[in-house]
Amino acid sequence: MAGAIIENMSTKKLVIVGVILLLFQVFSFLVGGLIAPSPTTAIHYLAMKCVDARKVQQSKWFMPWGPNQCNKIRDFDEAMVRMIEANDIVFAVHIPLPNKEMSPWFQFMLVIMQFDIAFKVVNQIEDGAEVTIDVGLAYRDDSVSEWTEMAHSIEKRKLSCNFTTSKTYENEGRYYECDLLPFMELGSVAHKYYLLNIRLPVSERKRVNVGIGEIKDIRLVGIHQNGGFTKVWFAMKTFLTPSILIIMVWYWRRITLMTRPPVLLEKVIFALGISMTFINIPVEWFSVGFNWTWMLLFGDIRQGIFYAMLLSFWIIFCGEHLMDQTERNRFAVYWKQVGPIVFGSFCLFIFDMCERGVQLKNPFYSIWASDVGTELAMAFIIVAGICACLYFLFLCFMVFQVFRNISGKRTSLPAMSKARRLHYEGLIFRFKFLMLVTLACAAMTVIFFIISQVNEGHWHWGDYTLQVNSAFFTGIYGMWNLYVFAIMFLYAPSHKRYGDEQSNGDLGVNSGEDIQLTTTITHLDGPTEIYKMTGKEAQE
Amino acid sequence: MNIQPHTEVRWLRSGDFSAEKHRDEEQRLSGIMCTRLPRTACLLRLIALCILLSQTSAYFGLTGREPLVFLPAPLSNESPSGKAHLKQCEQLTLTRRQKRLCRREPGLAETLRESVRLSLLECRYQFRNERWNCSLDGRGSLLKRGFKETAFLLAVSSAALTHALAKACSSGRMERCTCDDSSDLEHREAWQWGICGDNLKYSTKFLKNFLGQKRVSKDLRAQIDSHNINVGVRAVKSGLKTTCKCHGVSGSCAVRTCWKQLSPFHDTGRLLKFRYDSAVRVLSVTNAATGEAELAGPRRHSHSPRPMDLVYLEDSPSFCRPSRYSPGTAGRPCAKDTSCQNLCCGRGYNTALRHTTLSCHCQVRWCCHVECQTCLREEEVYTCKKH
């Protein structure tokens, strides 16, 4: 794919394109920063302690508040006095809080669990204590009808708590500091009201829930995507899909218009466009109407495919610009480099299926809850990490090789024939341009990632509030879209000839070269002779 | 009609003056103003004055002058449509505005009582080894003065109320916690769009509104009280812990959500006790630039007290002997080597040998199952002497 548009474009036009892209980039940041609210909201829930008085209550679901609320106790001292057993205590949490309702726009909901465990000398947390929770989830869509069960499960969670002060009588009543426990993940929020009923069944004989310390309270934190952010995000996707699609069609038409079959790099760029479109297509719109719990998993898969494609593209782009006169243009040549990407992505895919895939069936499942699961998950992640390292080593090595070849070619450039020189100059320019843009994009991603991690979440400028996290998401998403767009546009084969732009009578190139230069076949002999020939013909 | 606010038992005491001062003021005022006016007009004028004064600063929680209900009634299990909370609101002594807030918000009465319980338990715990053990006997007289203890009572009350409000919000006991400012439809939209603030922000705002702290009087006492109330709120805020959860692709940190978490109230209490120990005595200084009274530190040129410091006006009494501020330390149990010296004010202590049965080798199981053996123990008990 020689003679790409980028080589034949005048600097002025290139600058114009760059400025337009930059404007879109700024726009995408501002859309997230100014219009959208923060991406997610975390809401605290404190579980109410209900008493399961079997004879009194008819429904098997316990409501913490509102009409038909359960028979509550304030704390466990009260339970002690009233001789209530642990198995009769139900922790009830209604999601959301009063006067609010959930909406499909929230996209997902994940819930984190935290225990408030008070220190007591006679009832301490044992090492490796495990809490067994019997949990049920129900939903309803209006505030009067009966609850419908959605999921029920008995789960185990490892307690990892530490007590920061000395374990003396003096410090009784102070709380342990416990790690967050993953509790539940829903891939869609199709219903208005959810109800969680949690029990901590105790069985001395089976050693269930023994040695878990004095649990005072169960706190949950529910995280969902903000409706406003979802709307802005969908709008962005809906806008981006046709723009990438149009440039893709245009790009492919350009390639098919040529007389030669497309080369590998062109195919890879096209594949990149397809994977970008795959991410862009706003199928999430359906999640508003349908209860598609797999949307979260599907989103992960789409992102994974895009990342894998992007990484492969960089490798192949470097390889095709190596200029070491070896035959490439075949995908098989790159197996060594692309292999780690595919393998790493596959590992992450398996991991994701183990976590989010199983959660489709049981929303309370967490791979981190069991020892085997944790080891398995760690194994997948470590393998994926090793693959990533391998990949970056390969990539860096290739980039280094390209630069070495470039500097080698530089010295011999003046001695070459004009056509050949232009060919190499084009290669060098194309490579350097992409290198620069890619580095800039990667740097932007990293910088904004760090900012969004470090920052409080929003900045105030006078009356305006800039949501940094939302700006990060829309900005980075817009950026990679523009990146793919720019690559497809700038690296599409040009129909212009080399000489056209340089109008000062430099007719060094003619139509014959167009065909030859569109391939990256850089045999030492074959093309050079043709170059020489065509060059001579032109001179004559 | 009762026109003397200091005799009323109220949740919110008319603020700017101590009661005695208030009485003087009234006498003086009535002396001045009522000499030539008909008696009814004089009364009306006084009522107006009282209402005006009662709006400026606020006392509540442990500093309320009503008899405290330590252990509130068991959690109400009535539905919110019931009128139970209205009765509860009537039982509490509140100002008119507070009553209105209380009626509007069904969970508030319970939360107020919960906050009293919380602050009382914490105050007793923090002062268990001090001469003043947060006994409520002399509370009324204590509140009229500007001691360190008064400052602590105010701060711990406001901290407890903030804490209890935030907790009530997250347990769903309060109905209007966030997105509260707008009408119903807007409220729903704001919630769906995602611009509602968090519960703590709400509870701080609500507290300000509830206590009517928007206008702070220029009176020194009122300023000090308002400062100490804010110290309590700040103590809760400074104890917030930010916790984050990553939930991006495959659980990566590409998407991360953070939230602020209340620390246990014990920690807040400990912080306030520390502030109590390092409280600053202040004077009133007239700011040359604005002509307004300001709080100033003990030294002439030092700055006004830092926002985190508790401030007080006068040195505390010793609390050793029974007085109108405390029942004294006679009869208080103490620890021989550590607290007896200080607690008994040099009067010495009685030693008694006591056989106590206590439960030991306990087998405790969550939640409510305790199996213990009874052991007989002989222990020495030290109590402070009366004279």
Closest in B80, B195, B247 to A66, CB measured: B80
CB contact A40 to B (< 8 Å): yes
Is A403 found in the same domain as A333?
yes
Give the minimum alpha-carbon distance from A104 to chain B in angstroms, rounded to a whole number. 10
- Bridge partners for A458 per DSSP: A467
Is A204 found in the same domain as A256?
no
pLDDT recorded at residue B235: 92
In chain A, what is the straight-line distance between the N-terminal and C-terminal CA atoms, in Å?
Answer: 28
Indicate the DSSP class of residue B65.
Answer: S
Which of B24 and B246 is assigned the larger pLDDT? B246
In a domain, B87, yes or no: yes
Give the minimum alpha-carbon distance from B307 to chain A in angstroms, rounded to a whole number. 23
d(CA A536, CA A420): 13
Closest in A66, A84, A180 to B79, CB measured: A66
The whole-chain average pLDDT of chain B stands at 73
Which residue of chain A comes nearest to B172, CA vs CA? A97
- Asked whether the predicted pLDDT for residue B387 surpasses 90, the reply is no
Q: Do B171 and A78 touch (CB under 8 A)?
A: no
Give the minimum alpha-carbon distance from A79 to chain B in angstroms, rounded to a whole number. 6
Secondary structure (DSSP) of A344-390 = HHHHHHHHHIIIIIHHHH-TT--GGGSHHHHHHHHHHHHHHHHHHHH
CB contact A48 to B (< 8 Å): yes
Q: Do B172 and A42 touch (CB under 8 A)?
A: no
User: Among A45-54, A368-377, B172-181, B271-280, whose mean pLDDT is lowest?
Assistant: B172-181
d(CA A23, CA A18): 9
Question: Half-sphere exposure of A470 toward its Cβ, with a 13 Å CA cutoff?
Answer: 30
- Asked whether the predicted pLDDT for residue B75 surpasses 80, the reply is no
CB contact A229 to B (< 8 Å): yes
Render pLDDT for A421-480 as a digit per residue (tens, 0 to 9): 888 888 888 888 888 888 998 898 888 888 877 776 677 777 777 888 899 899 999 999
d(CA A367, CA A353): 10
The parent domain of residue B121 ranges over: 19-278
Q: Do B366 and A457 touch (CB under 8 A)?
A: no
- Bridge partners for A186 per DSSP: A109
Are B350 and B386 in contact by the 8 Å Cβ rule? The answer is no
The segment with the largest mean pLDDT, out of A95-99, B135-139, B270-274, is B270-274
Torsion on CA atoms A306, A308, A310, A315, rounded to nearest 10 = -170
Is A187 found in the same domain as A326?
no
Q: Which of A162, A195, A225 is the last residue of a domain?
A: A225
d(CA A343, CA A362): 28
Residues in chain B closer than 8 A to A123 (CB atoms): 362, 364-366
d(CA B155, CA B157): 5
Q: Which one of B184, B250, B258 makes the best mutation probe of the A interface by having the most chain A beta carbons within 10 Å?
A: B250
Is B208 found in the same domain as B348?
no
Which residue of chain B comes nearest to A465, CA vs CA? B195
Q: Residue range A229-233: average pLDDT?
A: 94
Which of A22 and B369 is assigned the larger pLDDT? A22
Q: Do A226 and B194 touch (CB under 8 A)?
A: yes
Percent of chain A residues past pLDDT 90, beyond the cut: 36
- Asked whether the predicted pLDDT for residue B37 surpasses 60, the reply is no
Helices B265-277 and B148-170: angle between axes, nearest 10 degrees: 160
CB contact A446 to B (< 8 Å): no
d(CA A523, CA A404): 19
In a domain, B13, yes or no: no
Reported residue count of chain A is 540
Question: Half-sphere exposure of A165 toward its Cβ, with a 13 Å CA cutoff?
Answer: 13
pLDDT tier at B269, thresholds 50, 70, 90: very high
Which residue of chain A comes nearest to B73, CA vs CA? A74
Is A241 found in the same domain as A197?
no
CB contact A203 to B (< 8 Å): no
Residue ranges of alpha helices (H) inside A58-165 are 76-81
3-state secondary structure of B27: helix
Q: Residue range B5-27: average pLDDT?
A: 34
- Residue closest to A403 by CA, chosen among A446, A439, A440: A439
Q: Which of B242, B258, B278 is the last residue of a domain?
A: B278
List, as ranges, residues 498-517 from A with C-beta within 8 Å of B: none
pLDDT tier at B32, thresholds 50, 70, 90: very low
Is A489 found in the same domain as A400?
yes
Tell how far CA A217 is from the center of its chain: 34
List, as ranges, residues 88-117 from A with C-beta within 8 Å of B: 89, 94, 96-101, 103, 105, 110, 112, 116
Which residue of chain B comes nearest to A89, CA vs CA? B367
Is B338 found in the same domain as B197?
no
pLDDT recorded at residue A514: 38
Closest in B247, B254, B368 to A76, CB measured: B368
Q: Do B170 and A46 touch (CB under 8 A)?
A: yes
3-state secondary structure of B101: helix
Is B266 found in the same domain as B363?
no
Q: Residue range B121-128: average pLDDT?
A: 89
Query: Do the strands B293-296 and A193-199 form a parallel or antiparallel pair, or are they unpaired?
Result: unpaired
ipTM over 0.90: no
Which of A116 and B92 is assigned the larger pLDDT? A116
User: Among A212-221, A486-495, B302-311, whose mean pLDDT is lowest?
Assistant: B302-311
CATH code of the domain covering residue A420: 1.20.1070
The number of distinct structural domains making up chain A is: 2
Render pLDDT for B209-233 as a digit per residue (tens, 0 to 9): 887 765 656 677 888 888 888 899 9
Which of A101 and B11 is assigned the larger pLDDT? A101
Q: Which residues of B42-62 are buried (b: 16+ CB within 10 A; e: fewer)?
A: beebbeebbeebbbbbbbbbb
pLDDT tier at B137, thresholds 50, 70, 90: confident
Q: Do B368 and A86 touch (CB under 8 A)?
A: yes
d(CA A431, CA B28): 92
Tell how far CA A39 is from the center of its chain: 14
Is B262 found in the same domain as B357?
no
- Asked whether the predicted pLDDT for residue B96 surpasses 70, the reply is yes
Give the minimum alpha-carbon distance from B233 to chain A in angstroms, rounded to a whole number. 20
Residues in chain A closer than 8 A to B253 (CB atoms): 453
Give the minimum alpha-carbon distance from A296 to chain B in angstroms, rounded to a whole number. 9
Which of A219 and B252 is assigned the larger pLDDT? A219
> Which residue's structure tokens are 């869509």?
A141
List, as ranges, residues 381-440 from A with C-beta within 8 Å of B: 381
Q: Which one of A51, A100, A105 makes the best mutation probe of the B interface by having the most chain B beta carbons within 10 Å?
A: A100
Closest in B80, B167, B245 to A223, CB measured: B245
Q: Which of A200, A225, A250 is the last residue of a domain?
A: A225
Give the minimum alpha-carbon distance from B6 to chain A in angstroms, rounded to a whole number. 35
pLDDT tier at A58, thresholds 50, 70, 90: low
The number of distinct structural domains making up chain B is: 2
Is A144 found in the same domain as A174?
yes
Give the minimum alpha-carbon distance from B381 to chain A in angstroms, rounded to a whole number. 18
In a domain, B294, yes or no: no
pLDDT tier at B163, thresholds 50, 70, 90: very high
> Which residue's structure tokens are 């003056």?
B17
- Residue closest to A111 by CA, chosen among A43, A55, A49: A43
- Asked whether the predicted pLDDT for residue A527 surpasses 50, the reply is no
Percent of chain B residues past pLDDT 90, beyond the cut: 6
Q: Based on the number of CB atoms within 10 Å of its own CB, is B264 exposed (0-12), middle (13-18) or buried (19 or more)?
A: middle
- What DSSP element (H or E) covers A296? helix A295-320
d(CA A502, CA A495): 15
Indicate the DSSP class of residue A2.
Answer: -
Residues 6+ apart with CB under 8 A from B278: B309, B310
B337-340: list long-range contacts, CB under 8 Å, 24+ apart: B338/B129, B339/B129, B340/B382, B340/B384
- Bridge partners for A195 per DSSP: A94, A138
Is A460 found in the same domain as A359?
yes
Is B274 found in the same domain as B337?
no
Q: Do A44 and B176 touch (CB under 8 A)?
A: no
CATH code of the domain covering residue A176: 2.60.120
Is A330 found in the same domain as A212?
no
Q: Characterise B361 by phi-psi region: left (phi > 0), alpha (psi -120 to 50), beta (else).
A: left
Are B178 and B166 in contact by the 8 Å Cβ rule? The answer is no
Residues in chain A closer than 8 A to B193 (CB atoms): 37, 226-228, 231
- Asked whether the predicted pLDDT for residue A145 surpasses 70, the reply is yes
Give the minimum alpha-carbon distance from B87 to chain A in angstroms, rounded to a whole number. 18
The parent domain of residue A370 ranges over: 5-39+228-539
Q: Do B75 and A74 touch (CB under 8 A)?
A: yes
Q: Which of B251, B278, B305 is the last residue of a domain?
A: B278
d(CA B162, CA B207): 7
In a domain, B310, yes or no: no
In a domain, B253, yes or no: yes
Reported residue count of chain B is 387
CB contact A214 to B (< 8 Å): yes
Q: Residue range A244-252: average pLDDT?
A: 93
Which residue of chain B comes nearest to A226, CA vs CA? B194
Render pLDDT for B299-326 as a digit per residue (tens, 0 to 9): 544 566 788 889 888 888 888 888 888 8
Which of A250 and B96 is assigned the larger pLDDT? A250
Render pLDDT for B334-350 as a digit per residue (tens, 0 to 9): 887 777 888 888 888 88
Is A525 found in the same domain as A468?
yes
- Asked whether the predicted pLDDT for residue A510 surpasses 70, the reply is no
Which residue of chain B comes nearest to A91, CA vs CA? B171
Is A492 found in the same domain as A357?
yes
3-state secondary structure of A16: helix
Size of interface A-B (CB pairs under 8 A): 160
Torsion on CA atoms A286, A288, A294, A299, rounded to nearest 10 = 70
- Asked whether the predicted pLDDT for residue B247 surpasses 60, the reply is yes
- Asked whether the predicted pLDDT for residue B369 surpasses 90, the reply is no
Query: What are the backbone angles phi and psi of residue A177, rounded to the nearest 5°?
Result: -100, 115
Closest in B173, B176, B257 to A99, CB measured: B176
Are B109 and B99 in contact by the 8 Å Cβ rule? The answer is no
Which residue of chain A comes nearest to B110, CA vs CA? A74
Is B96 found in the same domain as B160?
yes
- Asked whether the predicted pLDDT for residue B49 surpasses 60, the reply is no
Q: Which of B278, B300, B319 is the last residue of a domain?
A: B278
Give the minimum alpha-carbon distance from A80 to chain B in angstroms, rounded to a whole number. 5
Is A405 found in the same domain as A278?
yes
* Dihedral sign of CA atoms B5, B11, B14, B19 in order: positive
The whole-chain average pLDDT of chain A stands at 83
d(CA B309, CA B290): 24
Q: Do B253 and A453 touch (CB under 8 A)?
A: yes
Q: Residue range A314-339: average pLDDT?
A: 81
Helices B108-126 and B265-277: angle between axes, nearest 10 degrees: 50
In chain B, what is the straight-line distance between the N-terminal and C-terminal CA atoms, in Å?
Answer: 46
Are B55 and B215 in contact by the 8 Å Cβ rule? The answer is yes
- Residue closest to A188 by CA, chosen among A297, A96, A304, A351: A297
Q: Do B249 and A84 touch (CB under 8 A)?
A: no
Is A312 found in the same domain as A402?
yes
- Residue closest to A220 by CA, chosen among A188, A195, A238: A195
Which of B184 and A401 is assigned the larger pLDDT? A401
Which residue of chain A comes nearest to B258, CA vs CA? A42
Percent of chain A residues past pLDDT 70, beyond the cut: 89
Q: Which of A198, A225, A252 is the last residue of a domain?
A: A225
Indicate the DSSP class of residue A218.
Answer: E
Indicate the DSSP class of residue B159.
Answer: H
Q: Do B172 and A72 touch (CB under 8 A)?
A: no
Could you give the angle at the alpha carbon of B64 between the alpha carbons of B60 and B69, nearest 5°? Answer: 105
Residues in chain B closer than 8 A to A228 (CB atoms): 192-195
Render pLDDT for A124-143 as a digit per residue (tens, 0 to 9): 888 888 999 999 999 999 88
